[in-house]
Amino acid sequence: MELSQIIEPIQPDLEAFEKLFREVLSSDSTMIYEITQHLLQKKGKRLRPIAVLLTARACGDESLSGLEPAVAIELIHTATLLHDDVIDESDFRRGQDTVNHKWNNIISILMGDYLFAKAFKIMVGKKSPALYSIISQATERVSIGQLDEIREMRNFHLKEEQYLQIITYKTASLFAAACQSGGMSCTAGAKFEANLQKFGETLGIAFQITDDLLDYVGSATQVGKEVGKDLLEGKVTLPLLAALHRAPADEKERIIDFLENGYNRSGFGRILEFVTKWGGLDYSRQKAQSLGEKAGAFLAELPDSIYKQRLSDLFEFAVQRQK
């Protein structure tokens, strides 16, 4: 199912989200205005706000009370991307120049800090300690996940369990917070809180596995960044880990030696051949898809509705997407 079909039942909610998001980003600062206009040119898929708004509606919310959490979470997500692009020395995201490339690293970092501040200002205004706790804890976990990822750069002996822990913190935390806060934004959703949090976490894990898969088999035009970039930066993800686990010892040693001694962009074809040969791509696809049954179970107690169905469809979109 296309994303446009998934969001159809909440289209008015998303329009209200976009309006508030732009209002929050408005500033008298000329530089902040220029940067926000640049960011808004390619706004991304808005999966986290979509998750908040669908979850709120699935729990019976009729008052758009999930709007502020949706904006706060998207601000935090955008802030982490601005910081990520500095860490990764990225020049290109979502088909356009990154802020650090168009301006510089300092501006990208400070703009990220500004977005964090805006996000938490919104949550203070919401006057919900529980929601504030959910979103602040998710932000903390994102930072821990990113630090752990940096620590494990070029660790070709990383275990799958360690990889999953990293992506659970780095990526799935905000998806979990999105679904949990969507439910908590209305009274009826409180009883579903734990399951909604777990659904969001599972969605986020599957999303990141798919993202890591696309770094091997996507195209720069579709993905919005250069294929093979994560590996070049030293990020060891599931497709490679799975292939290393399955390859014979001698072949595994040769490929690790190649990666540790002079690997560059021109050698990506050899790595892709290895990962394909030893089932890393197939395993990663199956791993992401297998999480669907688990995700569905977490939604089982929600009342049947078009919004519940679209949450299931959102999971399928996350693992079937090509960008």
Q: What is the pLDDT of residue 89?
A: 82
Which of 207, 222, 227 has its CA nearest to residue 272? 227
Burial of 9 from C-beta contacts in 10 A (0-12 / 13-18 / 19+): middle
**Which residue range is the domain that position 189 belongs to?**
3-300+309-315
Which pLDDT tens digit goes with each residue over 55-87? 999 999 888 989 999 999 999 999 999 999 998
Average pLDDT over every residue of 239-256: 97
Is 321 contained in some domain? no
Is 97 contained in some domain? yes
Which pLDDT tens digit goes with each residue over 258-306? 999 978 889 999 999 999 999 999 999 999 999 999 999 999 999 999 9
Is 114 contained in some domain? yes
Residue 256 pLDDT > 60, yes or no?
Answer: yes
Q: What is the CATH number of the domain that holds 269?
A: 1.10.600.10
Q: What is the pLDDT of residue 236?
A: 97
> Within the chain, where are the H helices?
3-6, 11-25, 30-41, 47-58, 67-87, 99-102, 105-126, 129-151, 160-167, 173-184, 193-217, 220-223, 229-232, 238-246, 249-260, 268-277, 280-299, 306-320
Which pLDDT tens digit goes with each residue over 150-206? 999 999 999 999 999 999 999 999 999 999 999 887 676 777 889 999 999 999 999
Per the model's pLDDT, the better-predicted residue between 219 and 220 turns out to be 219
Is 320 contained in some domain? no
Q: What is the pLDDT of residue 92?
A: 79
Q: What is the pLDDT of residue 159?
A: 97
Is 70 contained in some domain? yes
Q: pLDDT band at 322, cuts 50/70/90?
A: confident
Is 207 contained in some domain? yes
Q: What is the DSSP letter of 172?
A: I
Is 249 contained in some domain? yes
Average pLDDT over every residue of 27-37: 93
What is the maximum alpha-carbon separation in the chain? 61
Q: What is the pLDDT of residue 223?
A: 54
Residue 175: how many other CB atoms lie within 10 Å: 30
Q: How many domains does the chain have?
A: 1
Question: Contact, 123 vs 69, CB < 8 A?
Answer: yes
Question: Which has the minimum average pLDDT: 29-43, 60-74, 81-95?
Answer: 81-95
pTM of the model: 0.94
Q: What is the pLDDT of residue 225?
A: 61
Is 323 contained in some domain? no
Task: Round to whole Å and give the CA distance between 107 and 142.
Answer: 21
Task: Round to whole Å and give the CA distance between 131 and 190.
Answer: 11
